[in-house]
Amino acid sequence: MIIFPAIDIINGQCVRLVKGDYATASKVAEDPLETAKKFEAAGAKWIHMVDLDGAKAGYPVNTEIYKNIAQNTGLKVEVGGGIRTLETIQAYLDLGITRVILGSVALKNPQLVADAIERFGADRIVVGIDAKNEMVATEGWLETSEVHYVDLALEMIKYGVKTIIFTDISKDGTLSGVNAGQLKKLADATAGKCNIVASGGVHTIDDIVTCRDLGLYGTIAGKSLYQGTLDLSDAIQTAETVQIRLMTMDDYDAAYALWLRCGNGLNNVDDSREGIARYLRRNPTTSFVAEENGVLAGVILCGHDGRRGYIQHACVAPEYRRRGIGGRLVSRAMDALKEEQISKVALVAFKKNAGGNAFWEQQGFSLREDLNYRNLALIELIRFDPDYTKE
């Protein structure tokens, strides 16, 4: 589970509200960028930011702050508040923002959500659903609709939404604990269909445990971090439920089933039980699996011939994607290869597809069209050895 430290902005200042009431705004930190850097130093990978001025105005107001953080930290930044058009989304993404949050527009103009997902991809678009007494609130929480929050979530899934941030406004900024009942209702209704992020009421590490045990994708923490009732490093460590470990033959059946689910190319020799056993004997320290509560979430089969490394299979189960597991598996495999003095790595027989290629490029690989083999894409890692592609 991902912990999203939060920075809300009014008039360029870091603030927190109580139950969404702008009159309760109180300054919680001096400088947004320095605050973000402290979160990053504590281990955060993401930061959740809301333009409260923009939410009220209906258009972005504090854009420069988000740009500054996106371009001057290693954090992935998600931003919401006042985002009402495709042009605004494009402008934010062009600034280096990782993904944007659509709130009021999800209820009032759901077609925009569908258009945004089609144009930018589901990984770049998040829908924020905020509720008072279980009914969706809009316009910076100043208006309340007659639409139930679960009903809106299910409708958004039909439009292609993969991540939803749910806020119980009665809990927001109160340090009274998360609304486990409403979160469970939403998680059960959307199970296997989208990721749920909890927002509102986080107070202590117990709230992190509650959200983790509900199987949520993430939890947003704000006032608890500023007032010291929750330690960010502890929260991140507690939230981590996926463990990366070396692959063994005990994982074969689950790994083979996962390869089939993910459409990996398989053959009866190399990928048989005997073939994988030989593979792991030759390379016992470079293949890994991701596991959560005894369930195999992902696997990377990686080896080397003493000169060049190769990734034979790599995949993450669909229900575990968008949680950074793929990147963690690749990093562990690359670190293991470096320990064995291997700095040149290729992907073996990976089918070309836009999503897959984008992932590998993010990991430092580059596609070489000149090395196509049986219409399958070979990709070479140039991150370790810039001169490798000159061979």
For residue 330, what are the contacts with CB-CB under 8 A and spacing of at least 6? 300, 311, 314, 363
Known active-site residue 207? no
Provide the residue type at 14 as one letter: C
Domain end marker among 188, 220, 239: 239
- Per-residue pLDDT of 209-232, as tens digits, reads 999 888 888 999 999 999 999 999
Same domain, 257 and 223: no
Going by C-alpha positions, the residue among 300, 335, 331, 334 that lies closest to residue 315 is 300
For residue 159, CA distances in Å to 106, 112, 124, 155, 162 come to 10, 10, 14, 7, 9
In sequence order, what DSSP letters do the residues of 328-362 get, joined into one string? Answer: HHHHHHHHHHHHTT---EEEEEEPP-HHHHHHHHH
Which helix (H) or strand (E) segment holds residue 43: the answer is none
Domain end marker among 179, 207, 239: 239
Tell me the sheet residues that pair with 372.
Answer: none
Q: What is the CATH number of the domain that holds 385?
A: 3.40.630.30
**Separation CA 78–CA 6 (nearest Å):** 10
Domain limits for position 314: 242-390
Mean pLDDT of the chain: 85
**Residue length of the chain:** 391
- Per-residue pLDDT of 124-136, as tens digits, reads 999 999 888 888 8
**Separation CA 149–CA 105 (nearest Å):** 14
Catalytic entry in 51, 53, 115, 130: 130
Same domain, 212 and 262: no
Known active-site residue 271? no
Same domain, 64 and 206: yes
Full-model pTM: 0.69
Tell me, what's the pLDDT at 225?
94
State the Cα angle at 37 between 31 and 38, rounded to 5°. Answer: 90
Which helix (H) or strand (E) segment holds residue 259: the answer is helix 252-261
Same domain, 175 and 310: no
Domain end marker among 189, 208, 239: 239
**pLDDT of residue 358 exceeding 60:** yes
Going by C-alpha positions, the residue among 281, 100, 318 that lies closest to residue 194 is 318
**Looking up tokens 């290729």, which residue turns up?**
346
**Rounded mean pLDDT of 131-156?**
82
Same domain, 196 and 259: no
Provide the residue type at 56 as one letter: K
pLDDT-derived band at 174 (thresholds 50, 70, 90) equals confident
**pLDDT of residue 53 exceeding 80:** yes
